Amino acid sequence: MDVISVIRTKRDRGELSPEQIDWVIDAYTRGEVADEQMSALAMAILLNGMNRTEIARWTAAMIASGERMNFDTLSRPTADKHSTGGVGDKITLPLAPLVAACGAAVPQLSGRGLGHTGGTLDKLESIPGWRALLSNEEMLHVLDTTGAVICAAGDGLAPADKKLYALRDVTGTVEAIPLIASSIMSKKIAEGTGSLVLDVKVGTGAFMKNIDDARELASTMVALGTDSGVKTVALLTDMSTPLGLTAGNALEVRESVEVLAGGGPADVVELTLALAREMLDAAGIKDADPAKALADGSAMDVWRRMIAAQGGDPDATLPVAREQHVVTAPSSGVLTRLDAYDIGIAAWRLGAGRARKEDPVQAGAGVELHAKPGDTVTAGQPLLTLHTDTPEKFDYALQPLGAAYDIAEPGTEFTANPIVLDRIA
C-alpha cells in the first residue's frame, strides 16, 4: 500500500477500499504519511466526496487509532453535545454545567478554533489557571465530582483525528462533510457517552451554508452514532447572524457567565435551553427543568466547581485587549443583516483565531456587537467594537466589515430567522 495510490484513487473520483482507508489512517497516525500528503487526500475528499460505506470505515479507522473510554462507573447517565462550529457560539460553556445541574453527567470533549469559528478550549483558556489537558483519570474525577467536564481529547483518544483536525484548519478542507462527520463522531463514539445531541449550524457563519448540506451532514452523523449504539439527535440551527453579542475568547466567557447568572442575550439563552432539553431527554431524564436551574443558581454552582476542578479561578478577572476600535452606524434605520462570516473573519484577523495550527490566540481579541438584526440604530452610534492587543491588525480586520451589515429605512419591518430550523433523529 502507498499513499500516492490512495490519493490518486480519490482524486479520480474512485471509492477507497476498506484496506486503503485502514492503512492510510494508521500510516498517518504513525507519521509514515506526511502532512502534505494527507492534505492532498483531504482536498480530494472535499472535492469528490465519500459514500456512506467509506465514511463509516473512515470513522471506524479513526476510532481504532486509539483507545475507547467507559463511563459505566458513574451513577448518572451520560449526555454530550457537539456543535459543528459558528461565530459567537459559546453555548457549550453554560450548557454543560446546566445539564449537569439537572442530573446528567456531561463528558464534553471540545476542540480549538477552526478557521473563522471559535474554539471552546481557546475560550476557556482565557480563565487564569484553567487546564484543557486532563488525563483520563482526571477527567473521570472531575466528571464524577462536579457532573461536568470540558476538556481536550487525550492523546490516546482518536489520535488520528487530533492530527487531521489541526491540518484541516490550515489547508482549506474544514468544510468536507465526510471529514466533519468522521472527526466529530470518531471522538464522540470513542469517548463513550451514552447519548449525543448535535448542533449542526446552517448559514453564512457555518461550514454548512445551506440547509440541504446541513441535513446531509446531520443525517450522516446521526446514522454513525445510532449504528454504534449511541442515542443521537441533531438540531439544525441558524448561523446567519453571530450568536449573542460577542465573538472572541474572553469576551464569550464573560457573556456565558452572564447567562449562568440568569441574564445574557436572549438567543444564547434560547439555544442553551433547547439543547439542554434534548440532552436530558436523550439521557432519559424527564422531570428536570433547565430554565429553573438557570434561574435558581444551581447551574452557576456547577460552573464554578467545574472551572475550579480544572485549575481555573472562577472569580479571576478575565483578560481585556489593550486596544479597541469602534465601528459606528453610517446611517439611521433598522439593522436588517449582520453577517456571521464577516464578523468571524474580523475576530480571527484581530487575533482570536489562528492562521497556522501552531499559532497562539489572543485571549482578549474579538468583536463586540452593540446591535443585532431588528434593532433600530442611529447614525454615529457604536455598531461594533473591535478588540486586540495588536492595533496594526485593525485595518485588516475592518476589510470584511464594510459589507457585513445592512441598514434599512426607519420603520422597516424585520422578521428574524428561528434559531432552531429542524430536528433530525
Q: Which stretches of 312-376 are DSSP H helices? A: 340-347
Helix (H) or strand (E) holding 144: helix 136-146
| Residue 292 annotated among the catalytic residues of the structure | no
| Residue 254 annotated among the catalytic residues of the structure | no
**Which residue in the list 10, 57, 81, 82 is annotated as catalytic?**
82
Q: How many residues does the chain have?
A: 425
Identify the CA nearest to 74 among candidates 191, 159, 221: 191
> Taking the CA of residue 343 as centre, how many other CA atoms within 13 Å lie in the half-sphere pointing to its CB?
34
| Residue 82 annotated among the catalytic residues of the structure | yes
Q: Which stretches of 228-318 are DSSP H helices? A: 250-260, 266-282, 290-295, 298-309
| Residue 372 annotated among the catalytic residues of the structure | no
**Which residue in the list 10, 90, 116, 168 is annotated as catalytic?**
168
**Which residue in the list 90, 112, 163, 187 is annotated as catalytic?**
187
The b/e string for 300-330 (b: 16+ C-beta within 10 A; e otherwise) is bbbbbbbbbbbebeeeeeebebebebebebe
CA distances from 213 to 100, 176, 324, 356 (A): 32, 10, 37, 27
**Which residue in the list 39, 65, 83, 183 is annotated as catalytic?**
183
Distance separating alpha carbons of residues 418 and 425, to the nearest angstrom: 19
Distance separating alpha carbons of residues 347 and 116, to the nearest angstrom: 8
Distance separating alpha carbons of residues 49 and 161, to the nearest angstrom: 18
**Which residue in the list 22, 80, 89, 161 is annotated as catalytic?**
161
| Residue 90 annotated among the catalytic residues of the structure | no
Residue entry with cell 473563522: 116
Task: Give the three-state DSSP class for 394.
Answer: helix
Sign of the C-alpha dihedral, residues 346, 347, 350, 356?
A: negative
- The DSSP string of 22-42 is HHHHHHHHHTSS-HHHHHHHH
Distance separating alpha carbons of residues 252 and 229, to the nearest angstrom: 34
Q: Catalytic amino acids? A: 82, 161, 168, 183, 187
